[in-house]
Amino acid sequence: MEITADSTIYDLLKAKPESAEVLFKFGMGCVGCAIARGETIREAAMVHGIPLEELVAALGIKA
């Protein structure tokens, strides 16, 4: 499964557990958040006020 900005945080963390550290650096506590199962990376970036381009680059995924 390819992880993109439209994948859920849950899928990201399942596929790339090391991404948790990147999320924490951006101030996102997604690892323990119940919303992570259904929220996309794109949605999380918007809610947290993080530029999507910066986040996907740091995560090494496609926008």
Convert the pLDDT of each residue in 10-26 to its tens digit. 999 999 999 999 999 99
User: Residue 49: which domain range?
Assistant: 9-59
Report if residue 49 sits inside a domain.
yes
The count of structural domains within the chain is: 1
Give the separation between CA 15 and CA 46, rounded to whole angstroms.
22
Average confidence score pLDDT of the chain = 91
pLDDT for 30: 66
Assess if residue 23 is contained within a domain. yes
| Phi, psi (degrees; rounded to nearest 5) at 21 | -65, -40
The answer to whether the CB of 46 falls within 8 A of the CB of 32 is no
